Structure 1
Amino acid sequence: MPLIGAVMLLATETQKAIGIKRISQIKRELFPHKRNQAQEAFDKSPEHIRRTVCFHAGLKERHIKMKFAEMSYSERKQIVWALNDLIDLSKTLPRFISDDDCELNVN
């Protein structure tokens, strides 16, 4: 395990939050024109996908119609968390599921 990983395991939740916030600041300073992938993904998604993301993030119906930039920082964090969860889920799914899978296996 890299040293930084070992250090992070020993950090308190407050220290982790401070570290994550500082890393974000450094990234903004070093890469000011870097695109925001979460913002693009959310804003460009059709309504039914935004509904799924907002539901998983624990947000309200009104968030579905909002742009990412219109949300509070904590709401945006919830969207990022939900998007990452959905990315993890997608990694466990097969590339394609056939209509044949609507039929039940009867053994």
Structure 2
Amino acid sequence: MPDIDTLRAALHTVPDPELAESIVDLGLVKHIGVGDRQVDVVLIPTSATCPMGDLLIEDATAALRAACPPGWAVNVTFDWDTPWHPGRMSPALQQRFGWNI
């Protein structure tokens, strides 16, 4: 059974298609849940329209499937109601982008 740290590490390899930064470092991962042969991940889009949302979900799903045993279900969805803000980013990425909050 994959643990949260393993799944987070898998998601860390997924770059945002527009910013080319890890979705984990950008603070797009809201929730990672592990259940009975199932992984559920909720992402927060950086904008209300998120033009690359489908690609982001596909890439996150592929990374998670690679980290899970065969036969596990992987569900990745967006939470469109939670707004993203620069304060969600890792401190190192905030500093690199000049958003020291």
| Greater fraction of residues in helix | 1
User: Shared topology, TM-score over 0.5?
Assistant: no
Scaled by the length of structure 2, the TM-score of the pair is: 0.30
Q: Max radius of gyration: which structure?
A: 1
**Bigger RCO (CA 8 Å, 6+ sep):** 2
